[in-house]
Amino acid sequence: MPDSIIIIPTYNEKENIERMIRKVFSLPHDFHLLVIDDGSPDGTPLIVKRLQSEYEGRLFIEERAGKQGLGTAYIHGFKWCIARSYDYIFEMDADFSHNPDDLLRLRQACIDGADSAIGSRYINGVNVVNWPMSRVLMSYFASVYVRFITGMNIQDATAGFMCYKRKVLETVKLDKIKFVGYAFQIEMKYTTIKHGFKVIEIPIIFTDRTAGTSKMSTRIFREAFLGVIQMKINSIFRKYPEG
Ligand SMILES: Nc1nc2c(ncn2[C@@H]2O[C@H](COP(=O)(O)OP(=O)(O)O)[C@@H](O)[C@H]2O)c(=O)[nH]1
Ligand SMILES: [Mg+2]
């Protein structure tokens, strides 16, 4: 049984998922892979299930009925992983925005002492390829905004490329995490830091997807904008670690 598992949430990723699965299983470390699919109408789960016989005992899928958002997909995946014996639990997108080769660097950071490692776009300047300038600016200033409101010293607060050590996910009250989009990523990092865990950022290059389409919406942006303020206010009344 390997010590590492990658959670990949999918919604309509038929153009990417097979290539991604093959890439992960070609890495020079034994990773398991858990896909959380929200009833993709394009057949993404069928592709995963077809590949399960080829990667028996290494590739898993959880299927949920209907699109329920990235945050709840990850919470579902975290619970699945900590019910098993994995020590390093990763988040990664299906669309190759995150380079799977970097999984090894995130894992190493956690072996070297971090409780959580972030694949960070903004640690050495701005390392985003192929995003329109408007989206780069939006994401970058979102991180500045989050730092300002929360006081959290993280350059890439909305990053979705992460490694969590098992003990973080066992400690954080996953049922209290309530946001679903970018705000979910912010809330997880904030809660992890509030619990006194060591979070470090590892520079990565983020490349926008070349296949399939983005699922993020203006509702998700709004959730993040208002959610950060709400999260900060709520945290004043919460005691960490939570019992
Ligand atoms: N299970 C699940 N996955 C989702 C959902 N929304 C987005 N995803 C996946 O989350 C990852 C990031 O989404 P993406 O659309 O690329 O967001 P962007 O990179 O911010 O534009 C991709 O692997 C998507 O397929 C959802 O509601 N449920
Ligand atoms: Mg994407």
**120, 202 Cβ separation under 8 angstroms:** yes
In a domain, 242, yes or no: no
More confident residue, 236 or 47: 47
| Predicted local distance difference test score (pLDDT) of residue 51 | 98
Nearest to 23 by CA among 131, 95, 79: 95
In a domain, 57, yes or no: yes
Cα 175 to middle of ligand 2, angstroms: 25
Is any atom of ligand 1 closer than 6 Å to the C-beta of 33?
A: no
Cα 36 to middle of ligand 2, angstroms: 15
CATH number, position 115: 3.90.550.10
Is any atom of ligand 1 closer than 6 Å to the C-beta of 135?
A: no
Taking the C-alpha atoms of residue 238 and residue 232, their distance in angstroms, rounded to an integer, is 10
Taking the C-alpha atoms of residue 90 and residue 242, their distance in angstroms, rounded to an integer, is 23
Cα 173 to middle of ligand 2, angstroms: 27
In a domain, 243, yes or no: no
Question: What is the pairing mode between strands 206-207 and 162-165?
Answer: unpaired
In a domain, 232, yes or no: yes
Runs of H (alpha helix) within 156-201? 166-171, 182-194
Is any atom of ligand 1 closer than 6 Å to the C-beta of 156?
A: no
- Which residue in the block uniquely carries the two structure tokens 């945050």? 71
Is any atom of ligand 1 closer than 6 Å to the C-beta of 13?
A: yes
Residue type, 207: T
Confidence of residue 239 (pLDDT cuts 50, 70, 90): confident
Rg (CA), the chain: 17
Q: Is residue 243 predicted with pLDDT exceeding 70?
A: no
Cα 240 to middle of ligand 1, angstroms: 30
Name the domain count of the chain. 1
Long-range contact set of residues 147-155: C-beta below 8 Å, sequence gap at least 24: 149/228, 149/229, 149/232, 150/186, 150/190, 150/228, 150/231, 150/232, 152/189, 152/190, 152/193, 154/118, 154/120, 154/189, 154/193, 154/199, 154/201, 155/120, 155/122, 155/123, 155/201
In a domain, 205, yes or no: yes
Taking the C-alpha atoms of residue 180 and residue 186, their distance in angstroms, rounded to an integer, is 10
Is any atom of ligand 1 closer than 6 Å to the C-beta of 38?
A: yes
Is any atom of ligand 1 closer than 6 Å to the C-beta of 34?
A: no
With the most atoms of ligand 1 within 8 angstroms of its CB, the residue from 20, 76, 93, 204 to mutate is 93
Average pLDDT, the chain: 95
| Predicted local distance difference test score (pLDDT) of residue 87 | 98
| Predicted local distance difference test score (pLDDT) of residue 8 | 98
Is any atom of ligand 1 closer than 6 Å to the C-beta of 95?
A: yes
Taking the C-alpha atoms of residue 73 and residue 232, their distance in angstroms, rounded to an integer, is 24
**85, 130 Cβ separation under 8 angstroms:** no
In a domain, 24, yes or no: yes
pTM of the full structure: 0.96
The token pair at 41 is: 């109408």
> With the C-alpha atoms ordered 133, 139, 145, 151, is the resulting torsion angle positive or negative?
negative
**162, 90 Cβ separation under 8 angstroms:** yes
Task: Say which ligand is closest to the CA of 68.
Answer: 1
Cα 104 to middle of ligand 2, angstroms: 20
Host domain of residue 156:
4-236
In a domain, 84, yes or no: yes
Atom number in ligand 1 closest to CA 16: 23
Residue nearest to atom 24 of ligand 1 (CA): 10
Residue type, 30: D
Instruction: Report pLDDT digits (tens) over 204-235.
Output: 999 999 999 999 888 888 898 899 999 999 99
Residue nearest to atom 26 of ligand 1 (CA): 69
Confidence of residue 33 (pLDDT cuts 50, 70, 90): very high
**190, 152 Cβ separation under 8 angstroms:** yes
Percent of the chain with pLDDT over 70: 100
Confidence of residue 1 (pLDDT cuts 50, 70, 90): confident
Q: What is the mean pLDDT of residues 77-82?
A: 98
Q: Does an H or E element contain 201, and which?
A: strand 199-203
| Predicted local distance difference test score (pLDDT) of residue 221 | 85
